[in-house]
Amino acid sequence: MSKYMGLDQAMMERYAPRPGRKALLPELSEQAKVALMCRMLFREGWNEHIAGHITYRLANGNILTNPWELAWDELTASDIVTLDHQGNVIEGEWNVTPAIGLHIQLHALRPDTNVVIHNHAHWSGIWANMQRVPPVYDQTGAHCGVDLPLYDEYAGTFENEATSLSAAEALGDSKWALLANHGALVVGKDLRQAHLRVITLEWRCKRAYEVELAGGGVPLDDAVVEKIGITDANGFPFCWEAMARRELRADPSIIE
């Protein structure tokens, strides 16, 4: 399944490689997928030193996450920590930041959400700090639709349980959010879907910032965004694998 991670059966059959073609990816452990996701998103600008967490809830209820002590661009599969549903470390050699509470609360509030990603990202962070929602200017920025809530009741870091719970509740059923004067938050049913949402958010924010610096432009109408966007139930076919291969070419030890 790893070579078509997250694709439904119909799409797998439609887009299966022809006989004799190589697999898109080697077989990957769940820990390797999380490590690859960290590397991939680091490259997208989700790279604020050692800040940020990716949590990935498994079918048994346990949660995989990156450790506090390591930056996203140095992680390997063996570094990934396993938590129980309350956020206690049950396997791994590292620690997790107390800010993991935001993720644990979101997993509890949203049964549909198996992946939660938070960081103080580059381009989305600019718009969060401006407390503005970036317009959509192109097809890539439209991949995941128009709605992008701005949570503007920042009252401190997410080590505080009440603060993180209010942010989790404010997200409602949204797929992502800008956290004013803080960063960005993305959720998804699986890694593929969450990956598309992160890269779409960063692209949308980057292009909007560049257009604004150039003197402005004409955003796409909401109806056009909905028409040309990708239905992201299964993410962007083959994009996750392509970005994973890029990281594996640079450092094959990620999956060890």
Query: How sure is the predictor about 229, in pLDDT bands with cuts at 50, 70 and 90?
Result: confident
- CA dist 202 → 77, 168, 209, 218 (Å): 25, 21, 11, 19
DSSP 3-state assignment of 183? strand
Dig out the tokens for 231 from the structure.
Answer: 């239905």
DSSP 3-state assignment of 243? helix
Query: How sure is the predictor about 170, in pLDDT bands with cuts at 50, 70 and 90?
Result: confident
Q: How far apart are CA 202 and CA 215, in angstroms?
A: 20
Q: How far apart are CA 84 and CA 102, in angstroms?
A: 15
Least confident window among 158-167, 188-197, 218-227: 158-167
Query: How sure is the predictor about 15, in pLDDT bands with cuts at 50, 70 and 90?
Result: low
* Between 18 and 94, residue with greater pLDDT: 94
- CA dist 84 → 116, 151, 184, 193, 199 (Å): 15, 28, 25, 23, 28
Q: What is the pLDDT of residue 235?
A: 76
Q: What is the pLDDT of residue 106?
A: 94
Q: Average pLDDT, stretch 104-117?
A: 94
CB-based contacts of 188, cutoff 8 Å, min separation 6: 113, 114, 115, 117, 175, 194, 195, 197
Element (H, E) at 187: strand 183-188
Query: How sure is the predictor about 33, in pLDDT bands with cuts at 50, 70 and 90?
Result: very high
Q: Average pLDDT, stretch 75-94?
A: 97
Average pLDDT, the chain: 89
Q: What is the pLDDT of residue 1?
A: 37
Q: How far apart are CA 88 and CA 129, in angstroms?
A: 32
Whether the predicted pLDDT of 163 surpasses 90: no
Q: How far apart are CA 134 and CA 127, in angstroms?
A: 7
Q: What is the pLDDT of residue 2?
A: 42
Query: How sure is the predictor about 9, in pLDDT bands with cuts at 50, 70 and 90?
Result: low
Whether the predicted pLDDT of 105 surpasses 60: yes
Per the CB < 8 A criterion, the answer to whether 154 and 102 are in contact is: no
* Between 17 and 87, residue with greater pLDDT: 87
Could you tell me the residue ranges of all domains in the chain?
A: 27-248
* Between 127 and 4, residue with greater pLDDT: 127
Q: How far apart are CA 11 and CA 6, in angstroms?
A: 10
pLDDT in tens, 61-83: 999 999 999 999 999 999 999 99
CATH number attached to the domain at 27-248: 3.40.225.10
Q: Average pLDDT, stretch 26-34?
A: 97
Residue with tokens 């103080």: 120
DSSP 3-state assignment of 19? coil
Query: How sure is the predictor about 34, in pLDDT bands with cuts at 50, 70 and 90?
Result: very high
Per the CB < 8 A criterion, the answer to whether 163 and 9 are in contact is: no
Whether the predicted pLDDT of 53 surpasses 90: yes
E strands, 15-166, in order: 53-57, 63-65, 81-83, 89-91, 115-119, 150-151
The torsion of the CA quartet 66, 85, 124, 196, rounded to 10 degrees, works out to 80
In this structure, how many other beta carbons lie within 10 angstroms of the beta carbon of residue 106?
23
Element (H, E) at 11: helix 9-15
